[in-house]
Amino acid sequence: MTDMPATPRRRGAARTEELLQVTLDLAAEVGYAGLSIEAVGRRAGVGKHTIYRRWPSLSALLLDALSRVWTSDLDYRDTGDVRADLREQFLRSGLALSSPPIGPVYRAVIAEAQADSMLRATLHERFLATVEQSTLDRITRAQRTGELTAEANLEFAAEVLCGTLYYRSLLSTRPIDEDAVDGLLDMFMAAYGTGN
């Protein structure tokens, strides 16, 4: 009579990994509303301590879960055509932001962040600023190659580009479709493009 559990219990670092995955699965299935420490624990068959030992709060867990799936695809291609590269990346990011599991987890973090300015700073630092920086890098290269005017203040431009996408996907009810991206890029290129 083997009442060995199918999988042996408790593993330290491996548990951490598993909990992050369970969080993402939960987010994909039930969305933000169903995300709670209790729900993650229940789903993973885990005591709440096992979660609290690793993360001080639900927000911290969500941030780590987000890192797991958001780190890739951050970098822009560089085909030499800055407009095309931005377009491709914006459409890709827009899709990711509106699909599970990234969409629900992002929404959850943003909701929590509204009540917690520390979390807001962390969110900005670990995600938003990183995305802006990656955009800034790409358009700075374009400025060097003469695709963009030398006078352009690219730091603000990167913020405007990314901010508009976040605004549309998280606060507005409109999708990030080709029209939206093209409209945004029309304005950006009209402002700072050299026509090369």
Instruction: Give the binding site for DNA (CB under 7 A).
Output: 5, 8-12, 15, 36-39, 44-50, 52-53, 57-58
Q: Which of 36, 163, 178, 196 binds a copy of itself (CB under 8 A)?
A: 163
Regarding 99 and contact with a copy of itself (CB under 8 A), the answer is no
Partner that binds at residue 126, options a copy of itself, DNA, none, CB closer than 5 to 8 Å by kind = none
CB of 9 to a copy of itself, least distance (A): 33
CB of 118 to DNA, least distance (A): 13
The CA dihedral of 52, 55, 61, 64, to the nearest 10 degrees, is: -150
Applying CB under 8 A, the site for a copy of itself has a residue count of 44
- Within 13 A of 195's CA, how many CA atoms are on the CB side? 0
Positions in 121-160 near a copy of itself (CB under 8 A): 121, 123-124, 128, 152-153, 155-157, 159-160
Site string for a copy of itself, 26-45 (x = CB under 8 A): -----xxx------------
Quote the CA–CA distance of 67 and 48 in Å, as a whole number. 22
Q: Which of 110, 130, 140, 194 binds a copy of itself (CB under 8 A)?
A: 110
Partner that binds at residue 81, options DNA, a copy of itself, none, CB closer than 5 to 8 Å by kind = none
Cα–Cα nearest to 61, from 44, 75, 83, 74: 44
Q: Strand, helix or coil at 41?
A: helix
The conformation of residue 114, written as its DSSP 8-state character, comes to: T
CB of 51 to DNA, least distance (A): 8
Quote the CA–CA distance of 34 and 11 in Å, as a whole number. 26
Quote the CA–CA distance of 196 and 186 in Å, as a whole number. 15
Partner that binds at residue 49, options a copy of itself, DNA, none, CB closer than 5 to 8 Å by kind = DNA
- What is the crossing angle of helices 102-113 and 58-70, to 10°? 140
